[in-house]
Every structure is written in structure tokens, then in C-alpha cells.
């Protein structure tokens, strides 16, 4: 009976838990849609605005850097004004900025809007993850928060489909704009959240206690002696996760094309295999984080990521083998993220939970955003495969070290 209960966890969730799950899943999927459309129109923007690859890369980096700022800021605001209210704000901000990119007339206009877009992008995950973690009960928390991460693969797949449809039906100079105009869709999710998603009881109780005692918790409390170890190790964990992911996903296609001369990398089939692997990896990680524990899940996926990096950069692979290896790459590189949301939620106390989680995850994103540039810099004096291996492999080693130094939180009742 117990196994059946766990297998049907979504059906057994309460109505507020289900509505919160739907809102968080939809928000993350739509964020992925809005964020990933940029990856499909890079070549179009290079030609349209007469920019070089370095400038195009800057458009990607600026969003990630500002998302680090936005995630921490949104976390602090969510601890002060509420998870639901700030989640609505971040979704609206992200949606409007994405829509406006479709009207941009120059590189610098896109640059500015991509920076502003990043503020909302970072905030949505930080606040939505905390909201999920506080509303969903302990025994389902890992699976629920982890499964929300699979929404990224769904949004990525929808972006790929829309790209194919719009660039087939419209001239290129209009199609790229239409892709960003679709970015207004997340705004509709706010209507659902306003009516159906409650503020967590735990947050309301914590705020009432603060108001009754007239003692407001400082946003700098995450650096107090009681929490500094958790904050630093959490930030290192997230730096490893995201630095490894960005180093691999940014440079691996270039490595396989330029040094291995494999043509399959540029095909839609290869992309779909990676997306499918990512989706299943998210679901597997969500299950394992509750089944085996937060630390064991992270260790397993970090080792899988290291194995995939070794296979891609060291083994002589054919086009056919590369196509099939896209699945374990997507599985490992994406699945490792499933357990981190619930883990961070359980590591921080309620009064600074969104603040601490927002800082740790988005500090990792900000530093991780530099990894592609570091790989490129090292690749000037070393083979690209070696550069990828050093930074991506090193990143997942950091994940292992941070995980071993952090406590296990499986089954922990949050307060």
C-alpha cells in the first residue's frame, strides 16, 4: 500500500498542492519557452544587427548575470511581502520584457531588454521553488519540486516547435520577432495564480510572529554565524551545477562540429533526443531525491555527468553513436537539477528561506555564467575538448564536495 501511495503521489495531493504544482510547472515551462527562443535566433540577430559572435554571446551572458541579481532580490522581497505576490510580479516582468524584445531595433536595445528580462527570469525560479516547497507536504516535496523542473524540457520543446513553424511560415526578419511576441503568454498564468494559489500557511505564520514581536529579520541573516556554512556550501553546490551545465551545453556542439566533424549535432533529431533525455532525467531525479535522499541523488547525477563529459571529449564516436549519446547527456545534465530545489528549501529556515535559496541558486548562476567564457579563454592555448573537460569536470567535482559537506534533509519537516 505504501508503494502505491508513493507511485500516485500527484493524485493524492490536496487541491492547494495541485494548483500550486500546476502554477509552478506552467511558470517554469513558459520561462523556458521565453528563454530558449533566443538560442534559435542567434544567427538571425547576427545577420540582422551586423554583430559578431562575441556580441551575440554577450546577449546570452547578460541575461544570466542579471538573473543572479533578480533571483536574490526576489527572494528577499518574497520573505518580506509573500511568495505568491512576488511570483506574480516576476512572471509579469519576464513576460513583458520578452514581448518588448520582439520590437527591438538595435543590438543595444536587445541587450538592455535581455538584462531586464534576466531580473524576472531569476526571480521566478527562486520564488516558485520556495512556494512549492512550503505548500507541498514533506513526503512528496522532492518529487513535486523536482517534477516542476521537467517543465523546462517541455518549454524547450515548445520553443523548438514554434521556431520551426514560424520560420517556415514567415520571412526571417518577422519570424524572430514573432517568437519573442509569444513571450506574453506567461502573463496569462498570473490570472490563474491570483485566483487559485494560496500563500503558504508557514509563511503567514512566520510573518505574524515577526509582526507580533516587532522584530524584522535582516536580509543579511543568511550570512550570520548560524547560517553562513549553509549559505556558502549551498552557493558552491549551485555554482558547480550551473557552471558544469553551461560549460557543456555552450561549447559541446562547437567541439563536436569543429574537432570531431560530426554533422548530426546540427540536426533536429539530435536536439529532440537531448530534450527527451532531459525530460526523463528531470522525472528520474525527482523520484530518486525522495527515494534515495537529497545527497545520494546529487552524487549519482554528478558522477553520470562526469562520465558523459569523458565520453564526449575522449572517445572516438560516430554520428550514430553521438545521436544515441544525446539521451544520457540530456538525462544527466538536466536531471541533476531536480533535487536542488527541495534541498535548498529544507536547508534554510522560513524567515530567510526565499532569501537564502535565491542567493545560493543565483550566485551559482552568476558564477556559472562565466564558465563558457573561461572555456573559450583556455581553448586559445589548449584543445577545446580539454578545456571543456577541465571546467565542466571541475564543476561537478565541486558538486560532489559541497554535497558531502552538507547534511541530509530527506524527511525534514520545515519550519
Following DSSP, what letter does each residue of 301-322 receive, concatenated?
HHHHHHHHHHHHHHS---HHHH
pTM of this prediction? 0.84
Residues 60, 113 contacting (CB under 8 angstroms): no
Is 396 in contact with 305 (CB distance < 8 Å)?
yes
Q: What is the pLDDT of residue 4?
A: 47
Alpha-carbon torsion (75, 81, 83, 85), positive or negative: negative
Task: Say if 280 falls within a structural domain.
Answer: yes
Q: Torsion-angle region of residue 326: left (phi > 0), alpha (psi -120 to 50) or beta?
A: alpha
What pLDDT, on a 0 to 100 scale, did the predictor assign at position 237? 97
How many Cα neighbours within 13 Å face the side chain of 125? 34
pLDDT mean over 280-302: 94
Contacts of 46 (CB under 8 A, 6+ apart): 52, 53, 56
Instruction: Identify the CATH number of the domain in which residue 21 sits.
Output: 1.20.1250.20
Instruction: Tell me the mean pLDDT in the region 363-389.
Output: 84
Q: Do 235 and 138 share a structural domain? A: no
- Judge whether 9 lies within some domain: no
- The answer on pLDDT for 331 being more than 50 is yes
Last residue of a domain, one of 202, 236, 259: 202
Task: Say whether both 340 and 370 belong to one domain.
Answer: yes
The helix (run of H) or strand (run of E) holding residue 128 is helix 107-135
pLDDT digits (tens, 9 = 90+) for 38-90: 878 887 888 888 887 678 778 877 888 888 899 999 999 999 898 899 988 99
Residues 154 and 31 in one domain: yes
Residue 267: band (very low, low, confident or very high) from pLDDT cuts 50, 70, 90: low
pLDDT above 60 (res 264) = no
**Grid-cell match 559572435, residue found:** 53
197 with 225, same domain: the answer is no
Task: Tell me whether residue 413 is in a domain.
Answer: no
Higher pLDDT, 142 or 208: 142
If we measure between CA atoms, which residue out of 116, 97, 125, 130 comes closest to residue 27? 125
Q: What is the DSSP string of 209-228?
A: HHHHHT-PPPGGGGGSTTTH
End-to-end distance of the chain based on CA atoms, in angstroms? 29
Average pLDDT over residues 130-148: 88
Count of structural domains within the chain: 2
Q: What is the mean pLDDT of residues 351-359?
A: 91
Last residue of a domain, one of 142, 172, 202: 202
Residue 72 CB neighbour total at 10 angstroms? 27
* 212-221, 232-241, 344-353: least confidently modelled range: 212-221
Same domain membership, residue 111 and residue 32: yes
Q: What is the pLDDT of residues 221-235, one digit of tens each?
A: 999 999 999 999 999
Domain that holds residue 87: 14-202
HSE, CB side, 13 Å, CA atoms: give it for residue 46: 13
pLDDT tier, 104 (very low <50, low <70, confident <90, very high otherwise) = very high
Q: Which of 384, 366, 368, 367 is nearest to 376 (CA)?
A: 384
Q: Kindly report the backbone phi and psi dihedral angles of residue 213, in degrees, each rounded to the nearest multiple of 5, phi listed first.
A: -90, -5
In a domain, 213, yes or no: no
Q: Which helix (H) or strand (E) holds 391?
A: helix 384-405
Is the pLDDT reported for residue 262 higher than 80?
no
Residue 7 domain flag:
no
Based on its alpha-carbon atoms, the radius of gyration of the chain, rounded to whole angstroms, reads: 21
Kindly state the percentage of the chain with pLDDT values over 70.
94
Establish if 173 belongs to a structural domain.
yes
Q: How far is CA 65 from the centre of its chain?
A: 13
Last residue of a domain, one of 202, 229, 252: 202
Q: Which of 84, 26, 129, 218 is nearest to 414 (CA)?
A: 129
Model confidence band, residue 219 (pLDDT cutoffs 50, 70, 90): confident
Q: Is residue 64 part of a domain?
A: yes
Instruction: Decide: 62 and 118 in contact? Cβ < 8 Å.
Output: yes
Poorest-pLDDT segment among 127-131, 176-180, 267-271, 350-354: 267-271
- Name the 3-class secondary structure at 199: coil
276 three-class SS: helix
Note whether 123 and 70 are within 8 A (CB). yes
Alpha helices, DSSP H, located in 136-224: 138-149, 151-169, 172-181, 186-196, 201-213
Is there a single domain that holds both residue 176 and residue 44? yes
What band does 215 get if pLDDT is binned at 50, 70 and 90?
A: low
Within 10 angstroms of residue 84's Cβ, the number of other Cβ atoms is 22
Whether 154 and 296 share a structural domain: no
- Claim to verify: residue 348 and residue 386 sit in the same structural domain: yes
Same structural domain for residues 181 and 248? no
CA distance 402 to 348: 16
Which region holds residue 214: left if phi is over 0, alpha if psi is between -120 and 50, else beta? left
Tell me if 162 is assigned to some domain.
yes
Is residue 182 domain-shared with residue 262, that is, in the same domain? Answer: no
Cell 524527511 belongs to residue: 411
Residues 179 and 308 in one domain: no
Asked if residue 7 has pLDDT above 60, the reply is no
**What pLDDT does residue 345 have?**
92
Q: How far apart are CA 375 and CA 391, in angstroms?
A: 7
Residues 195 and 256 in one domain: no
Amino acid at each position: 500500500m505504501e508503494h502505491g501511495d508513493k507511485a500516485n503521489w500527484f493524485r493524492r495531493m490536496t487541491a492547494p498542492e495541485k494548483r500550486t504544482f500546476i502554477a509552478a510547472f506552467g511558470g517554469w515551462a513558459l520561462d523556458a519557452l521565453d528563454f530558449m527562443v533566443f538560442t534559435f535566433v542567434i544567427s538571425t540577430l547576427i545577420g540582422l544587427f551586423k554583430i559578431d559572435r562575441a556580441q551575440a554571446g554577450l546577449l546570452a551572458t547578460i541575461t544570466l548575470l542579471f538573473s543572479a541579481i533578480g533571483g536574490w532580490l526576489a527572494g528577499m522581497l518574497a520573505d518580506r511581502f509573500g511568495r505568491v505576490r512576488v511570483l506574480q510580479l516576476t512572471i509579469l516582468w519576464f513576460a513583458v520584457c520578452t514581448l518588448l524584445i520582439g520590437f527591438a531595433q538595435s543590438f543595444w536595445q536587445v541587450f538592455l531588454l535581455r538584462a531586464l528580462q534576466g531580473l524576472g527570469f531569476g526571480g521566478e525560479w527562486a520564488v516558485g521553488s520556495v512556494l512549492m516547497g512550503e505548500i507541498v507536504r514533506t513526503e512528496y516535496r522532492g518529487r513535486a519540486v523536482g517534477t516542476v523542473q521537467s517543465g523546462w524540457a517541455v518549454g524547450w520543446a515548445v520553443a523548438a516547435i514554434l521556431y520551426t513553424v514560424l520560420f517556415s511560415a514567415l520571412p526571417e526578419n518577422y519570424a524572430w520577432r514573432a517568437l519573442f511576441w509569444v513571450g506574453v503568454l506567461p502573463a496569462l498564468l498570473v490570472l490563474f495564480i491570483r485566483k487559485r494559489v494560496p500563500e503558504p500557511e508557514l509563511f503567514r505564520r512566520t510573518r505574524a510572529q515577526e509582526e507580533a514581536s516587532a522584530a524584522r529579520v535582516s536580509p543579511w541573516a543568511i550570512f550570520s554565524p548560524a547560517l553562513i556554512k549553509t549559505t556558502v556550501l549551498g552557493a558552491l553546490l549551485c555554482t558547480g551545477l550551473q557552471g558544469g551545465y553551461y560549460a557543456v551545453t555552450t561549447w559541446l556542439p562547437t567541439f563536436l562540429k569543429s574537432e570531431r566533424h560530426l554533422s548530426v549535432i546540427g540536426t533536429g533529431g539530435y536536439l529532440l533526443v537531448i530534450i527527451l533525455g532531459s525530460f526523463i532525467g528531470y522525472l528520474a531525479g525527482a523520484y530518486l531525491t525522495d527515494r534515495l535522499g537529497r545527497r545520494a541523488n546529487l552524487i549519482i547525477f554528478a558522477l553520470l555527468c562526469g562520465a558523459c563529459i569523458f565520453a564526449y571529449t575522449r572517445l572516438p564516436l560516430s554520428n550514430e553513436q553521438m545521436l544515441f549519446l544525446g539521451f544520457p547527456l540530456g538525462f544527466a545534465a538536466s536531471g541533476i537539477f531536480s533535487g536542488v530545489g527541495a534541498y535548498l528549501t529544507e536547508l534554510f529556515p522560513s524567515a530567510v528561506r526565499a532569501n537564502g535559496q535565491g542567493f545560493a541558486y543565483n550566485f551559482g548562476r552568476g558564477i556559472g555564467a562565466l564558465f563558457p567564457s573561461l572555456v573559450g579563454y583556455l581553448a586559445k592555448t589548449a584543445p577545446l575538448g580539454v578545456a571543456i573537460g577541465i571546467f565542466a569536470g571541475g564543476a561537478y567535482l565541486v558538486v560532489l564536495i559541497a554535497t558531502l559537506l552538507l547534511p541530509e534533509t530527506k524527511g525534514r519537516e520545515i519550519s
